[in-house]
Structure 1
Amino acid sequence: MSTLLYSVTMSLDGFIAGPGGDMAWLTEHLAPNPLVEELISEVGALLVGNRTFRGSDPYEGMEGEGEAFGGGWSGPQFVVTHNPPAKSPPGHTFVSDFDEAVALAKEAAGGSYVNVLGADIARQCVEAGVLDEILVSLAPVMLGDGVRLFERRGGAPVRLERLAQSEMPHPTTVRLRVVR
């Protein structure tokens, strides 16, 4: 059975994107990270939120622009949206139903990780009880505003268990399991 993993880089003040979903802030923090690289090699499919799919690219103007993880991964991507584009990019499937998108991504992953990209789709995964793990890299910056890691007003606490943690010289990265 495939594991749903939300992977993300976050500012010290809890934002994963700047105002308007801007990802340009992340560019200077893109560096080799063994914990992240190991996990990327185990990803079988992506489950992507619409805002993330249509958002800015931290690899803009660089090699790997427009590709998942800057070209470090390729495979099937399932985008949850009620407004699919007229023409689908290769490897992308647009799905309007959240449960269907999760099922399709898990099937495509074939027992490997389904990597969740996007704060809102990650929130939906938590609320549906299908998120299994979280991998957070902490960037040494405070953005002050933007898209929060998790936005769950009135939500119940979610218990997490630390599975792994990286240390310097790489950005601090923590891998957590959702405790059910």
Structure 2
Amino acid sequence: MRELVYYVAVSLDGYIAGPGGEFDAFPVEGDHMAAQIKLFPEAIPTVAADAMGINQIKATFDTVVMGWNPYAVGLPAGMTSPYQHLQQVVFSRNRTEEDIPGEHPNLELTHEDPVEVVRRLKSEPGKSIWLCGGGQLATQLSGEIDRLVLKRSPLLFGNGIPLFAPGAYQPSSFEEVSTTAFGSGVVISEYVRRRA
């Protein structure tokens, strides 16, 4: 069965974005970048990967799920299908296709229950499913997350969008399987869910 992998950058104080959804404080230069590109080339927006000559081989992910806010980050720049090399599922309770200008290949906007959608995706053949964010969606899908890959940056945001939003979810135990510290100060840690 396919895994749901929550792969995300996070500050030392547990935020994946600032109060207004800002994420540009996360370092995009340094020795950690080569490791990220090697591990998860599919998690780079298609346009950026093309410009950098990165082959997005779908070694790990062939699908990405995200909330409206992470998706909408690229809209002002005309990026209506940020990961068009993947199947993209965007969850929103109140947005419609009319809120997406122009063409958006390989992208589905849905009002469906995220848990039901992810369970359906997991039952289908394919590679792992990348949970891109945000915190509200991560909370809704907390019981479905099989693996966490956290890119901890040496930053404090003080406020913003948390890794997991407050909500009703059961305590879960994860086991650390790897941690790599980079000269840039970024630490990438991977955890797998402990199964009963």
TM-score w.r.t. the length of structure 2 is 0.73
2:149 counterpart SS class: strand
| Aligned with residue 171 of structure 2, among 131, 152, 157 | 157
- Greater CA radius of gyration, 1 or 2? 2
> In structure 1, how many angstroms separate the alpha carbons of the residues matched to 2:146 and 2:6?
8
Match of 2:24 in 1: 24
May I ask how many residue pairs the two structures share in their alignment? 168
Match of 2:118 in 1: 102
Match of 2:89 in 1: 78
C-alpha distance 8-36 of structure 1, shift in aligned 2 (>3 A)? farther
Q: RMSD between aligned alpha carbons?
A: 2.8
1:177 counterpart SS class: strand
Aligned amino acid, residue 35 of structure 2: P
- List structure 1 runs of 4+ shifted beyond 4 angstroms: none
Match of 1:51 in 2: 69
Q: Deviations over 1:35-89 (max 9, x none)?
A: 56324431110011112112368xx98xx99734xxxx82110111121231461
Q: Deviations over 1:81-100 (max 9, x none)?
A: 12123146111111111244
1:120 counterpart SS class: helix
Structure 2 residue 141 is the aligned partner of structure 1 residue 125: yes
Report sequence identity in percent.
Answer: 21
**How far apart are residue 114 of structure 1 and its match?**
0.1
C-alpha distance 65-94 of structure 1, shift in aligned 2 (>3 A)? closer
Q: Gapped runs of 5+ residues in structure 2? A: 43-58
**How far apart are residue 106 of structure 1 and its match?**
3.5
Q: Deviations over 1:89-144 (max 9, x none)?
A: 11111111124431454467x33110001121111111xx2110110011111111
> In structure 2, how many angstroms separate the alpha carbons of the residues matched to 1:146 and 1:67?
23
> In structure 1, how many angstroms separate the alpha carbons of the residues matched to 2:61 and 2:171?
27
> In structure 2, how many angstroms separate the alpha carbons of the residues matched to 1:105 and 1:46?
11
> In structure 2, how many angstroms separate the alpha carbons of the residues matched to 1:106 and 1:153?
23
Q: Gapped runs of 5+ residues in structure 1? A: none
